[in-house]
């Protein structure tokens, strides 16, 4: 399989992560990509460098105001003179009758949903490179490849139209889906990350042309807590084109694959022209974020089930954190996909 990758992700190396009041080093580290890359090389997947598409694909799913904020953020922050090494908001105004602020500290609060998305000097460049990786993979599929994998870092599925959060800044999965929409009337997104794809859901919530399906650890007990419940089904024209399948914490292969069967039926009924898989690998039994308990063989079977949909497919890397098995699980899911194709 062709796999799109660039070293440009390395300029984003966040340190700050606030967990239950404790400051830790973030789990979203450049080394994740090294381990994923090792998984690709072990299976001899064909590495491809991304094409630079510019701002166009990003503006299909993000507001111009938000993109400007991200592009200007570091320079404005540095100019404060007394600011920290990473941009972390000291307010989240939730927009209750407020006014879009001019000050960088206000804009930072306005555009971030939590503290898990610190911005550093190289964040914008890395996030832009990740959308180029996703768009390149989508373009290759539009040009005739059956399936292409996009090694995106930072991840994207918690990013909304104009909000960063949960390690995510630009929604690579949504960017890939919007690019595929240039060719296909309907596109489905299947999110298998252990966390609910709340940003992706938010972006497409009122649209009937993009089906969003997410299988994840129950938000009643797990990030993002506020979104990801089964009753969130879309709104307006998009009512019925959002499916959430929350699973009890610790669910293993059997429960996961049963949920995936439900997701498959919904996707088949939607009859999309193409599929984007938000491929988090953090549902692993060995992932440090410990939400679900999928085995390596389980990932292989997830790959097989996705392939059986028979759709042109873009697989976009989302979460999956440092464990000895991270690269192995990527190898397994792609092997499963290729053997069932
Ligand atoms: Zn995740």
Instruction: Name the band, by pLDDT with cuts 50, 70 and 90, for residue 156.
Output: very high
Average pLDDT over residues 41-48: 97
Distance, in Å, from the CA atom of 277 to the CA atom of 271, rounded to the nearest integer, reads 16
CA angle 20, 73, 158 (to 5 degrees): 45
When pLDDT is averaged across residues 29-45 and rounded to a whole number, the result is: 98
| Span between the terminal Cα atoms of the chain, in Å | 12
Q: Quick one: average pLDDT of 305-328? A: 97
> For position 301, what pLDDT does the model report?
98
CA of residue 317 to ligand 1 center, whole Å: 10
Contact (Cβ atoms closer than 8 angstroms) between residue 130 and residue 81: no
Alpha-carbon radius of gyration of the chain: 18
- State the pLDDT at residue 147: 98
Give dist(CA 158, CA 28) in Å, integer.
13
**Mean pLDDT for the stretch of residues 219-232:** 98
3-state secondary structure of 39: helix
The CA distances from residue 225 to 27, 85, 108, 196, 200, in Å, are 19, 28, 22, 9, 15
Helix/strand/coil for 229: coil
Q: Where are the alpha helices (DSSP H) in the chain?
A: 31-42, 56-59, 64-78, 104-110, 123-142, 172-180, 198-204, 253-270, 296-307, 326-340
Mean of the per-residue pLDDT values of the chain: 97
Task: Please determine, for residue 93, whether its predicted confidence score (pLDDT) is greater than 90.
Answer: no
pLDDT tens for each residue of 105-127: 999 999 999 999 999 999 999 99
> What is the Cα–Cα distance from 211 to 208, expressed in whole angstroms?
7
CA distance 181 to 197: 19
Alpha-carbon distance of 139 to 283, in angstroms, equals 28
pTM of the complete model: 0.98
Å from CA of 102 to ligand 1 middle: 32
d(CA 93, CA 111): 9
Q: What are the pLDDT digits (tens) for 166-224?
A: 999 999 999 999 999 999 999 999 999 999 999 999 999 999 999 999 999 999 999 99
Rounded average pLDDT over 23-36: 97
Tokens of 58: 């990003």
Answer whether residue 96 shows pLDDT above 90. Answer: no
- Per-residue pLDDT band for 148 (boundaries 50, 70, 90) equals very high
The residues carrying an active-site annotation are 158
Residue 264 has pLDDT above 90, yes or no: yes
- Two tokens, residue 290: 């410990």
Residue 59, number of CB atoms within 10 A of its CB = 14
Classify strands 187-191 and 16-19 as parallel, antiparallel or unpaired.
unpaired
Average pLDDT over residues 313-329: 97
Contact 117, 165 (CB under 8 A): yes
- pLDDT at site 187: 98
- % of the chain exceeding 90 in pLDDT: 98
Average pLDDT over residues 70-83: 97
Ramachandran quadrant class, 310 (left: phi over 0; alpha: psi -120 to 50; beta: rest): left
Domains of the chain (ranges, CATH numbers) = 2-61+121-340 (3.40.800.20)
Place of tokens 């804009």: 107
User: Is residue 95 predicted with pLDDT exceeding 90?
Assistant: no
Closest Cα partner for 140 from 51, 273, 242?
Answer: 51
Read off the pLDDT of each residue in 212-240 and give the average, rounded to a whole number.
98
Q: How far is the CA of 320 from the centre of ligand 1 (A)?
A: 6
Q: How far apart are CA 14 and CA 85, in angstroms?
A: 10
Asked if pLDDT for residue 94 goes beyond 90, the answer is: no
Distance 321 CA to ligand 1 centre (A): 8
Distance from residue 247's CA to the centre of ligand 1 (Å): 14
């Amino acid at each position: 399989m062709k796999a799109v990758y660039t070293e440009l992700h390395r300029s984003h190396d966040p340190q700050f992560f606030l967990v239950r009041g404790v400051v830790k080093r973030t789990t979203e580290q450049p080394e994740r990509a090294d381990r994923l890359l090792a998984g690709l090389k072990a299976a001899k997947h064909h590495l491809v460098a991304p094409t630079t598409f510019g701002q166009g694909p990003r503006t299909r799913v993000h507001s111009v105001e938000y993109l400007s904020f991200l592009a200007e953020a570091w320079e404005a922050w540095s100019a404060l003179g007394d600011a920290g090494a990473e941009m972390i908001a000291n307010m989240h105004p939730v927009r209750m009758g407020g006014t879009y602020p001019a000050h960088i500290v206000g804009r930072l609060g306005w555009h971030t949903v939590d503290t898990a998305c610190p911005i550093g000097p190289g964040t914008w460049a890395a996030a832009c490179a990740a959308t180029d990786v996703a768009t390149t993979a989508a373009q290759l599929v539009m040009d005739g490849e059956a399936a292409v994998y996009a090694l995106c870092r930072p991840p994207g599925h918690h990013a909304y139209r104009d909000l960063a959060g949960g390690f995510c800044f630009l929604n690579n999965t949504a960017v890939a889906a919007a690019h595929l929409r240039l060719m296909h009337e309907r596109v489905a997104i299947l999110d298998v990350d252990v966390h609910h794809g709340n940003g992706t859901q938010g972006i497409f919530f009122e649209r009937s042309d993009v089906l969003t399906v997410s299988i994840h650890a129950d938000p009643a007990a797990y990030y993002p807590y506020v979104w990801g419940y089964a009753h969130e089904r879309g709104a307006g024209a998009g009512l019925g084109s959002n499916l959430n399948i929350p699973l009890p914490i610790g669910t293993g292969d059997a429960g996961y694959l049963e949920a995936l069967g439900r997701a498959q039926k919904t996707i088949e009924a939607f009859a999309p022209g193409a599929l984007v898989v938000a491929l988090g690998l953090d549902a692993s039994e060995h992932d440090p974020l410990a939400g679900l308990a999928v085995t390596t063989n389980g990932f292989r079977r997830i790959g097989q089930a996705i392939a059986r949909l028979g759709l042109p497919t873009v697989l976009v890397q989302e979460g999956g954190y440092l464990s000895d098995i991270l690269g192995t699980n990527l190898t397994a899911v792609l092997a499963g996909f290729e053997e069932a194709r």
